[in-house]
């Protein structure tokens, strides 16, 4: 039989559809007569009627030689969803995949399955769910480009509600080209085959999608938790209908053709030395010959549109940026669609622009080379190109000295400058020749005593590594910063003592008193201690304040908007983690209202170590209030551990009931790769909690509790657990609520309504406590953890 007109349905199945077509209306009428409106109260229909399927004019020959990866989800120890009657998702996924494989192979496709039996893909030594998922991606990655990947699943609501049913087709998040195209075609056929009223195309960030180099789709055709779905999928007919939907979706996609972009490059030298480089590529539609759509050929460099010229006859593409590119790394992207609307796989190229240096400017940290032969001197070279921009990062600068005891140094450019710190001999003027590319300059620092007092400061970490960007405040006034090598040199002081305060995020502040003498150089070396032992150094925390300006979320009785509280707590939490040395990024600011999918995409772009979603919704019941609860996604070991730490830290918050750490299915924690949690400390719709959350002290208390949980999470096995707690009173029998209490000059909290405060993740060494309230302040001497402080402020 001709493959163009051959139907994949055998005679028995065709008779089944004929029966459905002629009898369905009669059956429905009888049910309605017998049950009245009861049927409408059963929730979503089960689907799988197949009334929209059509094979007329379908050209199955496009499958010939096409490589298709089928991934039946779960398997082995990973059961997946389980229906109330005991039907498991893993067996249904596999059955649909086998049926689909047979159909595809029958038309000449090369089908590769990630599993063909009831097995997981874990190594013999064992492993985690991530190892199983990685093995599935490895199967796909072993294939040449041109393959497509389809992961077959069936969903579960995760709640006792069994009435819910819908179709969800996920495409690889961020791939608005082939993956989205393939999802659209499959989705269209799912509507015709499964036929559920609610059916969606959604961006998916599941492991097998985000790590896949091929166009990739994950299908959740229906919800196995729905009894009607379970009953139908127990039989072969519904499984066949679903397989046919995938089959026809794949054929529709391939019939549209897939244009190509290749030979992407920049003309000229490599690395590129022209700030207006010309990009060239070839764009064509060889598979169907339908032709490239000239209005859908797009070029971007660093996310900005670039004017492009496309020759429809030759397929040649040329593009040149309208503004000069800065020196350094860039990324160019080319996208194209054909006249049937199908997209090419996005072509990308990373490249460097390195315009040769055009000038060098030299400076010395001191106006005179010291006579003592001991004081360090910093020579800095600022290097720019002929357009006045900094040269590329890493450009080599050579320093040659007239002092034979100071060796030649080659230093890479950082931020447009390179510097060296040397100690010249005290027997001659000090000359430095600096060269970069074909340019050279020199500077001479005359030997001699300073006229006034000189301060040279070096700041290091506990391992003696230089600390850049340390804030240095002198006598509470002028503010300076240390250089990349940890130095700060200042001249022109009179004699006497100055107080020097040093601070930098991630380190404990320190104050030193320095005696200065005219005509002398005072060399001061200071080491800063890492905050909390450095537990959060090098970490990145993404914080998701749900809602937005146009999305208030829940609203309390007094008008408190959930979105506003979410953002306030998120900002305080971000400040805490930054003070401790970590990076923090928020998924939104104060003026936008991104949905869950957009926030998940922003989370991925931030590339954080963890995600914490802040929420304050939940309506009280007649005799109940929304409890404190933290959700983690099922199967996420680290997500569960993080949720446990945060739930424990928030226990008793606002005096609300506590549900602890439980599994959750919120989109924001489902669609990110990092360990993620959804947190609700309390609800603004709870009048008692609303009053607390509306006050900055309540917001800070929640943020501090979550922060201390984050410290314990990252510091497992080495986080400190020193506790300093106390109460602030007014000396007249009353307590002081809202007083600011700061540990070691960097970690703040506020007293609660009973005047109490507590810090629970301090080191076991001694600390200092400072209390501020309405202009009154108190500062402790050394305080050992474990002590309970009773501070009395005499408030006027």
- Asked if residue 353 lies in contact with residue 272, where contact means CB atoms within 8 angstroms, the answer is yes
pLDDT surpasses 50 at 4:
no
- pLDDT band for position 288 (cuts 50, 70, 90): low
Per-residue pLDDT reduced to its tens digit, 540-551: 999 999 999 999
pLDDT surpasses 70 at 1:
no
- Asked if residue 338 lies in contact with residue 370, where contact means CB atoms within 8 angstroms, the answer is no
User: Taking the model in full, what pTM does it have?
Assistant: 0.86
3-state secondary structure 533-547: HHCCCCCEEEEEECC
Q: Check residues 135 and 765 and name the one with the higher pLDDT.
A: 135
Average pLDDT, the chain: 90
What percent of the chain has a predicted confidence (pLDDT) above 90? 75
- pLDDT band for position 270 (cuts 50, 70, 90): confident
Task: Map tokens 């969606």 to a residue.
Answer: 200
Same CATH fold, 357-445 and 260-353? yes
> What letter would DSSP give residue 627?
P
**What CATH class has 453-529?**
mainly beta
Average pLDDT over residues 445-466: 93
**CATH of span 43-255:** 3.40.630.40
Close Cβ partners of 358 (under 8 Å, ≥ 6 residues apart): 384, 385, 386, 387, 388, 439
The DSSP string of 547-602 is SBTTB--SB-TT--BHHHHHHHHHHHHHHHHHHTT-EEEES--SS----HHHHHHH
pLDDT surpasses 60 at 365:
yes
pLDDT surpasses 80 at 158:
no
Distance CA 629, CA 596 (A): 19
pLDDT surpasses 60 at 292:
yes
Distance CA 182, CA 191 (A): 14
pLDDT surpasses 90 at 527:
yes
- Asked if residue 599 lies in contact with residue 674, where contact means CB atoms within 8 angstroms, the answer is no
Instruction: List the chain domain ranges.
Output: 43-255, 260-353, 357-445, 453-529, 540-714, 722-792
- Asked if residue 207 lies in contact with residue 672, where contact means CB atoms within 8 angstroms, the answer is no
pLDDT at 716: 76
**Residue (of 183, 179, 207) closest to 121 by Cα position:** 207
pLDDT surpasses 80 at 269:
no
pLDDT surpasses 70 at 14:
no
- C-beta atoms surrounding 589 within 10 Å: 12
The rounded radius of gyration (Å) of the Cα atoms in the chain is 33
The DSSP string of 684-703 is TTSHHHHHHHTSHHHHHHHH
Per-residue pLDDT reduced to its tens digit, 530-575: 999 999 999 999 999 999 999 999 999 999 999 999 999 999 999 9
**What is the token pair recorded at 490?**
């200042």
- Asked if residue 536 lies in contact with residue 581, where contact means CB atoms within 8 angstroms, the answer is yes
Q: Which of 88-92, 268-272, 309-313, 344-348 has the lowest mean pLDDT?
A: 268-272
Q: Does the 540-714 domain belong in CATH 3.40.630.40?
A: yes
Q: Which of 91-105, 245-259, 470-484 has the lowest mean pLDDT?
A: 470-484
Q: Which CATH number does the domain 722-792 belong to among 2.60.40.10, 3.40.50.300, 3.40.50.1820, 3.30.360.10?
A: 2.60.40.10
3-state secondary structure 322-388: CCCCCCEEEEEEEECEECCCCECCCEEEEEEECCCEEEEEEEECCCCECCCCCCCEEEEEEEEECCC
pLDDT surpasses 80 at 23:
no
pLDDT at 34: 34
Per-residue pLDDT reduced to its tens digit, 668-697: 999 999 999 999 999 999 999 999 999 999
The total number of residues shown for the chain amounts to 796
pLDDT surpasses 90 at 477:
no
Distance CA 91, CA 111 (A): 19
Give the chain's largest Cα–Cα span.
110
| CATH homologous superfamily for the domain 357-445 | Immunoglobulins (2.60.40.10)
- Asked if residue 434 lies in contact with residue 471, where contact means CB atoms within 8 angstroms, the answer is no
Buried b (16+ CB within 10 A) or exposed e, 50-59: beebeeeebe
pLDDT at 21: 40
**What CATH class has 260-353?**
mainly beta
pLDDT at 213: 94
**What is the token pair recorded at 146?**
């041109």
Per-residue pLDDT reduced to its tens digit, 693-752: 999 999 999 999 999 999 999 997 665 678 999 999 988 888 999 999 999 999 999 999
């Amino acid at each position: 039989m001709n493959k163009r007109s051959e139907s994949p349905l055998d005679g028995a199945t065709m008779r089944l559809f004929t029966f459905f077509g002629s009898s369905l209306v009669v059956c429905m009428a009888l049910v309605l007569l017998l049950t009245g409106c009861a049927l409408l109260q059963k929730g979503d229909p089960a689907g799988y009627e197949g009334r929209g399927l059509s094979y007329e004019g379908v050209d199955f020959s496009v499958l010939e030689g096409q490589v298709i990866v089928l991934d039946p989800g779960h398997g082995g120890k990973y059961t997946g969803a389980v229906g109330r009657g005991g039907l498991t998702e893993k067996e249904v996924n596999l059955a649909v995949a086998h049926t689909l494989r047979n159909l595809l192979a029958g038309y000449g496709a090369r089908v590769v399955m990630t599993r063909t039996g009831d097995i997981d893909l874990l190594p013999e030594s064992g492993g985690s769910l991530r190892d199983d998922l990685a093995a599935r991606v490895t199967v796909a990655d072993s294939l040449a480009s041109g393959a497509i990947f389809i992961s077959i699943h069936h969903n579960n609501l995760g709640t006792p509600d069994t009435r819910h049913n819908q179709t969800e087709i996920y495409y690889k998040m961020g791939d608005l080209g082939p993956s989205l195209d393939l999802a659209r075609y499959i989705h269209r056929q799912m509507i015709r085959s499964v036929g559920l009223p609610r059916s969606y195309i959604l961006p998916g960030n599941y492991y097998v999608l985000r790590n896949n180099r091929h166009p990739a789709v994950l299908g959740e055709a229906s919800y196995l938790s729905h009894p009607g779905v379970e009953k139908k999928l127990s039989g072969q007919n519904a499984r066949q209908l679903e397989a046919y939907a995938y089959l026809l979706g794949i054929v529709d996609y391939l019939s549209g053709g897939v244009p190509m972009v290749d030979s992407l490059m920049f003309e000229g030298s490599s690395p590129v030395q022209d700030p207006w480089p010309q990009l060239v590529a070839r764009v064509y539609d060889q598979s169907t010959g339908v032709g490239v759509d000239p209005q859908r050929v797009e070029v971007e460099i660093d996310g900005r549109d670039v004017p492009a010229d496309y020759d429809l006859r030759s397929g040649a593409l040329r593009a040149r940026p309208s503004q000069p590119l800065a020196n350094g790394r860039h990324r160019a992207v080319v996208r194209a669609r054909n006249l049937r609307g199908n997209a090419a796989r996005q072509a990308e190229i990373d490249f460097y622009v390195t315009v040769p240096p055009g000038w060098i400017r030299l400076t010395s940290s001191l106006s005179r080379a010291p006579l003592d032969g001991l004081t360090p001197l910093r020579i800095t070279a600022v290097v720019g190109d002929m357009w006045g921009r900094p040269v590329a990062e890493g450009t080599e600068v050579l320093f040659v000295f007239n002092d034979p005891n100071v060796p030649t140094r080659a230093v890479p450019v950082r931020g447009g400058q390179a510097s060296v710190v040397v100690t010249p001999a005290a027997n001659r003027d000090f000359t430095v020749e600096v060269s970069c590319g074909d340019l050279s300059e020199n500077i001479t620092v005359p030997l001699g005593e300073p006229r006034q007092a000189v301060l040279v400061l070096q700041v290091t970490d506990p391992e003696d590594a230089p600390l850049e960007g340390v804030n240095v405040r002198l006598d509470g006034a002028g503010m300076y910063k240390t250089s990349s090598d940890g130095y700060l040199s200042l001249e022109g002081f009179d004699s006497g003592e100055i107080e020097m305060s040093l601070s930098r995020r991630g380190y404990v502040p320190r104050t030193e008193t320095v005696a200065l003498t005219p005509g002398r150089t005072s060399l001061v070396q200071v080491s800063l201690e890492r905050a909390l032992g450095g537990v959060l150094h090098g970490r990145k925390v993404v914080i998701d304040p749900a809602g937005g300006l146009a999305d208030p979320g829940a609203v309390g009785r007094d008008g408190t908007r959930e979105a506003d509280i979410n953002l306030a707590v998120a900002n305080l939490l971000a400040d805490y983690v930054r003070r401790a040395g970590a990076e923090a990024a928020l998924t939104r600011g104060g003026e936008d209202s991104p949905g869950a999918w957009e926030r998940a995409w922003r989370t991925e772009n931030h590339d954080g170590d963890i995600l914490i979603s802040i929420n304050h919704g939940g309506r009280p019941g007649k005799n109940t209030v929304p409890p404190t609860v933290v959700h983690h996604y099922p199967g996420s070991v680290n997500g569960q551990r993080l949720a446990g730490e945060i739930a424990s830290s928030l226990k008793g918050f606002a005096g609300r009931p506590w549900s602890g750490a439980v599994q959750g299915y919120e989109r924001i924690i489902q669609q990110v790769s990092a360990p993620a949690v959804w947190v609700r400390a309390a609800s603004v719709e709870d009048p008692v909690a609303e009053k607390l959350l509306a006050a900055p002290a309540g917001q800070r208390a929640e943020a501090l509790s979550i922060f201390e949980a984050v410290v314990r999470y990252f510091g497992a096995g080495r986080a400190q657990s020193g506790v300093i707690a106390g109460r602030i009173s007014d000396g007249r029998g009353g307590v002081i609520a809202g007083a600011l209490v700061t540990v070691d000059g960097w970690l703040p909290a506020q007293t609660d309504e009973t005047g109490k405060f507590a810090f629970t993740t301090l080191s076991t060494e001694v600390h200092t406590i400072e209390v501020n309230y309405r202009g009154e302040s108190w500062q402790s001497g050394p305080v050992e953890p474990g002590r309970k402080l009773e501070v009395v402020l005499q408030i006027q």
